[in-house]
Structure 1
Amino acid sequence: MSAAEASSTAETAPAAETSFAAETSMTSPRIAAVAAAVEAGDHDAVDAFWKEVAEAGSP
């Protein structure tokens, strides 16, 4: 592989450490907050989200 090809490949390859939230376009602030909480290690965030939805409803 030439240096130009290697450079081109490196520019288009996704970063290995990119976070889920950074890779996706979140349109819901609630979903974005849950994703950020999960990434931060909050293993109860998803359950808490669904509990809130069950109690308060969703749009």
Structure 2
Amino acid sequence: MGKLGGWEILIIVLVILLLFGGRKIPELMRGLGSGIKEFKDATKDEEGKKAENKTDSPQ
């Protein structure tokens, strides 16, 4: 019940096309991709800081 089937995905894509038009979609996807990249970079930075703190602290 929680999974999207082929028809549901097709309807969602058609609604997005109707709302934004064909010219605006590449710009939206580019923005989404850069947002995901920034999020991944930020999480890598946080993981690196945590690893540094663990190695720097005396036991």
Q: TM-score, normalization: structure 1?
A: 0.31
Q: Which has the larger radius of gyration?
A: 2
Q: TM-score, normalization: structure 2?
A: 0.31
Say which structure, 1 or 2, has more relative contact order (CA 8 Å, 6+ apart): 1
Structure with the bigger percentage of helix: 2
